[in-house]
Amino acid sequence: YRLADLLIPNHYNGTLQEVLVPGGLIQDRVRKLARDIRADYGCTTIHLVCVLKGGSAFFQDLLRCLRYFHEFNDESYVPFTYDFIRVKSYVGTQSMDVKITGGDLKRMAGKHVLLVEDIIDTGKSMRALLPVLRKEGPKSLKVASLLEKRTERSCGFKAHYVGFSIPDKFVVGYCIDYDEHFRDMTHLCVVNQEGIERYRSISAAEEHAAMAAV
Ligand code: 5GP
Ligand code: MG
Ligand code: MG
C-alpha cells in the first residue's frame, strides 16, 4: 500500500519506511489482551500503572476495553485503579539504574499491580525497574507490553502480556516517539533514514563536530 493512503499525517511524508502494525490491528489485539487480563484477574481489583509517555496510547485503549466489559455483562466487570509513572534508565558502572518520577509508588502496597509499557527491547529497563517496585510491597506485579522485539540483545526478560512480537527495527507511532516526534500517528511505523535525519535533535554535522571535539 501507499503510505499516503493510510491516514498518515502529511508532515511525516517521506520519513517512514513501512507501516509495521496498522492502528486497526492494534485495536483488535488490545481488545483480546483485555479479555486475557479479565480471565486471569477475575473480579480482583487491578492497579494499572502506565509507563509514560510511550505506553499511554496502549494504556488508554486497554482501559477503554476493560471499562466496556461492564456494558455487556456485570459479571465480567473488571475493577481497576490506575497511576502514571515516568522511568528514566541509565547504565551505571555495574548494571542499569532506574529513576522513577511521578506516580504515588506507596499506593502499590498490597495491590495487584499491572505495569503498562510500550516496548520490551533488551528487557534491561524492566529487569532494573521491577525490583525497585517490588520494594513497595505489591501483592502481585506483572507487565503488559504492547511490543516485544525479537533481538539477540535481549536479556531474557519476558512480559506477562505481549501485544505483538516485532523485528529488531526502530518503531514509532501510537504515542511511541523518536525525539518526541511521531507520537501523533495511529499506526506503528518504522522510520527511514530521512526521518532519522530530519528529526535528530542535533544535526549529523553537529554530532560530528562534537565527536571531533572529544
Ligand atoms: P529495553 O530496556 O527493553 O532495551 O528498552 C526500554 C525502552 O526503550 C522501551 O520501553 C522504549 O521506551 C525504548 N525503546 C526500545 N525500542 C524502541 C523503539 O524501537 N522505538 C522507540 N521509540 N523506543 C524504543
Ligand atoms: Mg518504555
Ligand atoms: Mg522514548
pLDDT tens figures, 29-39? 999 999 999 99
Q: How confident is the model at residue 204 (pLDDT cuts 50, 70, 90)?
A: low
Give the chain's domain count. Answer: 1
Please confirm, yes or no, whether 121 is among the known catalytic residues: yes
Contact 124, 152 (CB under 8 A): no
The size of the chain, in residues, is 214
Percent of the chain with pLDDT over 90: 74
Identify residue 187 by its one-letter amino acid code. H
Is ipTM > 0.90 here? Answer: yes
Whichever domain contains 182, its CATH number is 3.40.50.2020
Contact 205, 212 (CB under 8 A): no
* Structure confidence by residue, pLDDT tens digits, 47-74: 999 999 999 999 999 999 999 887 766 6
Q: Which entry of 36, 104, 121, 179 is annotated as an active-site residue?
A: 121
- C-alpha separations of 187 from 4, 8, 158, 175, 193 in Å: 13, 8, 24, 10, 19
Answer whether the bond into residue 53 is a cis peptide, omega within 30°.
Answer: yes
Q: Which pTM was predicted?
A: 0.91
Q: Which domain holds residue 129?
A: 3-213
Query: What's the average model confidence in pLDDT over 188-198?
Result: 94
Ligand nearest to the CA of 86: 2
pLDDT of residue 122 exceeding 60, the answer is: yes
